[in-house]
Amino acid sequence: MSLKNFFKELSESENTNITMTDKQICIISAAIEIFSEKGYSATTTSEIAKKAGVGEGTIFRHYKTKLEMLLAIPNYLNKSPSSKSHMSDLTRIFESPYEKFEDFIKDVIQNRKEFILKNTPLIKVLVQEVPLHPELRDTMSESVLFPNMEKLIQAIDRFKEKGQIINIPSETIVHLLLTSMMGYFFTIFIASFHFNVDYDKEPDYLAQYILHGLSITDNKIELSREAAL
Amino acid sequence: MSLKNFFKELSESENTNITMTDKQICIISAAIEIFSEKGYSATTTSEIAKKAGVGEGTIFRHYKTKLEMLLAIPNYLNKSPSSKSHMSDLTRIFESPYEKFEDFIKDVIQNRKEFILKNTPLIKVLVQEVPLHPELRDTMSESVLFPNMEKLIQAIDRFKEKGQIINIPSETIVHLLLTSMMGYFFTIFIASFHFNVDYDKEPDYLAQYILHGLSITDNKIELSREAAL
DNA sequence: TCTCTGAGTGAGTGTTCACTCACATAAGCA
DNA sequence: TGCTTATGTGAGTGAACACTCACTCAGAGA
């Protein structure tokens, strides 16, 4: 079971001061699994205990309340070794002096795609619960989507200066990037919409699409009337 | 209160056979309001009754169970006059022989944007609950995002034949469009991410972005290695 | 006027919930 | 070995839940 491995890795890592007993690993991975299937609110603690193979009291020995379990998830995500390595890779991408925007955006997408695939159930819970628990919102944008936002904006500014991407506000570009990736992620992983498409190729079409979307082309497009006022 | 007006309009419309008493209107609009704030599962029927200003028993006179209230929402959305008019407008857009893809995509976005703004709380509930209640999924893609999908694909095929948009599978293009719009909608309306951007201009940037993203440009982009296999 | 019907009601009901607690066992240490 | 602390447990608990039901009442029809 990969979720258990995730927490085993997390517990055994030397860089984090998180130590967990076997039971505790069972509890949190069972919780995440059921949360992602039924939602936080509809999940009962007895159900978690049963799936984890522990007594119900054991849950409350480690987490004072059920809510505390949910709010602990971002913390685990942030401290996991795989997350940390993806994050530092991403920072390196943001800081590197890429020649072409194309290479930059492909590396960013590849990085986020790998990260999301490695932590799907965890992230699914976060995405699902973020509208109902605003406390989770900051973690979402800071650690799942674009950690190190300022560096990203600086990178985008550099590409704008080079004349490689369209001259609209950098915050807007970040929003469009985030929008595309969120939407892509939401439709496939969260809402499970089914499209008759090749899901292996799809992320590369996405890259191509974003790349086109922000590149400067010959056919200039006027903004519609209402945007002008 | 606009939600109450929505249902009053719905009830008084001649084309729908939906008749609702004042109390019933209060109940369903209170329910949708609380569902959108706290989520379906965390909302109690007594809370709905209190907000609607009715006795708790009255709720169960109109809806056998709490779940029935949730599942009734798509039905109301589909039968509302404003929804019907937006939907027939959209079908007309799909069928019209647009010269330029640019005009086409702008009209599509404008149509969906107006529809979403007119029905925000209702749609918010649907988006929020769709991962947990697969029954809602079909309604989402059929009535909220892209009703009349086949006609949309035919329209896209026409633009591809004219050489106005890139030659990737039409289903993929639909997915990218849906992805952009879903993501855009999710970040702003559902998850309430805050960006330091001009939200009036934002939809037009989105249009521009999508337009660019699908247009054929001089700088051809190679798909990355892994997509090729 | 009387009767019938359907909307409206809120105290009541059985169940389930998150959480507690007294106790059991294991682990660490002198 | 004995003492202390950490971990594990499941029966138990009060609160809260979705839902019921016996009842009221207003309005329509005769």
**Residue range B95-108, pLDDT digits in tens:** 999 998 888 888 88
Domains of chain A: 2-75 (1.10.10.60), 81-118+148-228 (no CATH)
pLDDT at A56 over 90: yes
> Region A9-34: what's the mean pLDDT?
83
Residue B55 binned pLDDT confidence (cut-offs 50, 70, 90): very high
Is the pLDDT assigned to residue A48 strictly greater than 90? yes
Long-range contacts of A99-107 (CB under 8 A, 24+ apart): A100/A164, A101/A159, A101/A164, A101/A165, A101/A211, A101/A214, A101/A215, A102/A211, A102/B221, A104/A155, A104/A159, A105/A207, A105/A210, A105/A211, A105/A214, A106/A207, A106/A211, A106/B224
**Cβ pair A186:B183 closer than 8 A:** yes
Distance A21 CA to C27 C1' (A): 13
pLDDT score for A219: 40
Q: Say what the pLDDT of residue A157 is.
A: 92
| Averaged confidence pLDDT in chain B | 82
Contacts of A189 in chain B (CB under 8 A): none
If you average pLDDT over each of A129-138, B52-61, B206-215, which comes out highest? B52-61
User: Is pLDDT of B191 > 80?
Assistant: no
**pLDDT reported for residue B38:** 95
Residue B65: what pLDDT?
95
How far off is chain B from A84, nearest CA to CA, in Å? 23
pLDDT in tens, B15-35: 777 777 888 999 999 999 999
pLDDT value for B217:
53
The two three-digit tokens of residue A43, written as one number: 């999940």
What is the count of residue pairs from A and B with beta carbons less than 8 Å apart?
182
Chain A residue numbers with beta carbons less than 8 Å from the beta carbon of B187 are: 175, 178-179, 182
Please give the pLDDT value at position B201: 75
Task: Tell me the CA–C1' distance in angstroms for B55 and C11.
Answer: 11
Footprint of strand D on the protein (CB under 7 A): A 21-24, 54-58, 60-62; B 43-46, 56-57, 60, 64-67
